[in-house]
Structure 1
Amino acid sequence: MKALLEAYGYTVEVATNGEEGVHLLQTIQPDVAIVDIGLPGLDDFEVARRTRAIPDGNAIKLVALTGYSDPDVKVCAANAGFDLHLVKPVNPAKLGMVLKK
């Protein structure tokens, strides 16, 4: 994913768990954050909730990327604050379109 996004010309920061992710989001406040559902430690839904609670956290576009296509997961993601729910494997062209919006 990192290589693909960099090939599209994006600057990419990577967190390996939820705590790191929240710290990065608070520190760099990116335009978009792609968060894998199923993170170790602090779960992805809590990452979204904490991101929305920080100053300007609503300005970050949060994209849930997951292997879970269950409609309940999509609802949970939306309720936690994600703007979009994408199911793996995501089509690179679709991902590129999502990031341009």
Structure 2
Amino acid sequence: MATVVLVDDHDSQREIYELALSTAGFVVHEAASGEQAIELVRVLRPDVVVLDLAMPKLDGWEVCRRLKSDPETRGIPIVVVTAHIVPGVRESAEHAGCDAYLTKPCLPNEVIATVRAHLKRAVA
């Protein structure tokens, strides 16, 4: 069973995606902040991280940069799910190291499909 760390500062967003991912067979660990996300990822070494960008204090861009600069976590795929749709945001997220970029509102099935696709790439 694949493990996902789900990061979003909004409880309602985490609840929606946690339910969908766990129903799809993933083991889901939740983080409500960037700091908590980095700690969980370093301890758990999940198969995939699903990450919001807009969070207080330590935002998703910085979380992505830190995880991708750490030799222990750089190989973990990061799927960004964000409401940011202004020009340049996708590119800055990709520059920070994200592996996939989805915009909210995003159907849970799209998140599941993207997570599965990155799991297959990691195994291949």
Q: Matched residue pairs, number?
A: 101
1:100 is matched with which residue? 116
Q: What secondary structure is seen at the aligned counterpart in 2 of 1:2?
A: helix
Give runs of aligned pairs for residues 80-95 of structure 1, distance below 5 A.
Answer: 80-95=96-111
Q: Distance in 2 between matches of 1:57 and 1:71?
A: 28
Kindly report structure 1 stretches of 4+ aligned residues shifted beyond 4 Å: none
Aligned partner (choices 60, 67, 70) of residue 83 of structure 2: 67
Could you tell me which runs of 5 or more consecutive residues in structure 2 were left unpaired when the two chains were aligned: 1-16, 118-124
Letter in 2 for 1:34: V
Structure 1 residue corresponding to 2:40, chosen from 18, 24, 30:
24
CA apart distance, 1:56: 3.1
Aligned AA (2:96):
A
Deviation for aligned residue 1:24:
0.8
User: What's the % identity of the aligned pairs?
Assistant: 32
Structure 2 residue aligned with 1:2: 18
Q: Please, what TM-score do these two structures have when normalized by structure 1?
A: 0.92
Gaps of 5+ in 1: none
SS in 1 for 2:31: coil
Superposed CA RMSD in Å reads 1.1
